[in-house]
Amino acid sequence: MLDILASGLVIGAAYASLGLCITLLSRMGGVVNFAQTAIGLLGSYLFLVLSDTPLPLWLAALAGIICSALVGAFSGAIMSRWFHDADVGTRSSVAIAMMIGYLSIGTRLFGDSPRQAPDLFDSLGLSLGAVNISGGLVVSLIVSILMAAGLHYYINNTHTGTRLQAFAAKSVTAELIGIPSDRLTIMIWSLAGAMSALALLIIMTSSARNANYASLSLLIIPALCTALIGSFHGFYLTLSGGLLLGILEAATLSSPTTAPYAQTIYLPVIVLILLWTKRKDKWDGQRA
């Protein structure tokens, strides 16, 4: 039981970290960013390339995070320059186009053959009875919790966070009262890009050390599911949803009977969440 919990938490913490990036942009940028994983992959794969050079690993990781931050800033500049007054549907459609473009560029640059990632966190592992807890689990849990707490505090307790919420709610009004929408949009996209690269670096150097580019790009599905659990708004709910989703997936993988269906658990979760969130509308319609 403890081994299922441990493996589920390391997966769930990764899902939560990516879901937090999507929640951040949904809440502050007014967009469901389908390109989030694709942006993070560009930086994390740059880290893999640099890790095969004499460059220190920490410097290679920093370069990868900066790369995704720059790609995120570029994406934010596009969104701010041409789509700042568009509705959520249009912005999200642009994000889908970005996802396709970045995945095509990444596959062209890095190929789709599995790459061996270095283990950065092996020395941080713990033993709990007969269960060995990997260093990746420890780091991913700490990072995801710090992300959720830091974003919650930043958005709700800082002047910049207040301005970001104003811009997300009423972009035109925010511009009229002097809030620098372009700069804030680029900043928040850049932050989300750096966070997604960090999350993927942890995944690739702990639990998915031989994964290829295509399989890692599919992490956008559980990340979106995790953000949906938080209604694309609550950081702590997104964190909890990611951890629960990881545990559910690990429990499914633990049985030979259900293991082949582990990657399909997101569909019933999404359906149940949508039914639950829309229940009030349905009940109101029936009463009317």
Residue 200 has pLDDT above 80, yes or no: yes
Residue 249 has pLDDT above 50, yes or no: yes
pLDDT at 218 over 70: yes
Residue 112, pLDDT > 90, answer no
With bands split at pLDDT 50, 70 and 90, how would you rate the model's confidence at 213? Answer: confident
Q: Which long-range contacts (CB under 8 A, 24 or more apart) does 240-243 make?
A: 241/16, 241/19, 242/12, 242/13, 242/14, 242/15, 242/16, 242/17, 242/18, 242/19, 242/20, 242/144, 243/8, 243/9, 243/12, 243/13, 243/16, 243/144
Q: pLDDT band for position 207 (50/70/90)? A: low
- The answer to which of 68-82, 148-162, 184-198, 273-287 has the lowest mean pLDDT is 273-287
Calculate mean pLDDT across residues 103-124. Answer: 80
Which of 1-5, 84-88, 204-208, 238-242 is predicted least confidently? 1-5
Position 279 scores a pLDDT of 62
Asked whether the beta carbons of 32 and 26 are under 8 A apart, the reply is: yes
- Does position 43 have pLDDT exceeding 90, yes or no? yes
How does DSSP assign 86-155, residue by residue?
S-HHHHHHHHHHHHHHHHHHHHHHH-SS--PPP-SSGGG-EEETTEEEPHHHHHHHHHHHHHHHHHHHHH
pLDDT at 288 over 50: no
Give the pLDDT of residue 216.
Answer: 85
**For the ranges 14-28, 88-102, 111-125, which has the lowest average pLDDT?**
111-125
Query: Of the given ranges (10-19, 62-71, 80-89, 166-175), which has the lowest mean pLDDT?
Result: 166-175
Query: What CA–CA distance (Å, rounded) separates 172 from 84?
Result: 9
Note the pLDDT of residue 65.
Answer: 94
Q: In terms of pLDDT, which residue wins out, 280 or 239?
A: 239
Query: What pLDDT score was predicted for residue 135?
Result: 65
> Which structure tokens are listed for 118?
């270095």
Crossing angle of helices 135-157 and 159-169, rounded to 10° = 80
Is residue 178's pLDDT more than 90?
Answer: no
**Residue 176: pLDDT over 60:** no
Half-sphere exposure (Cβ direction) of 227: Cα atoms closer than 13 Å? 23
Tell me the fold of 2-287.
ABC transporter involved in vitamin B12 uptake, BtuC (1.10.3470)
Q: Which residue has the tokens 């995801």?
A: 144
Pairing of strands 131-133, 126-128: antiparallel
Q: What is the pLDDT of residue 287?
A: 46
- pTM summary value: 0.83
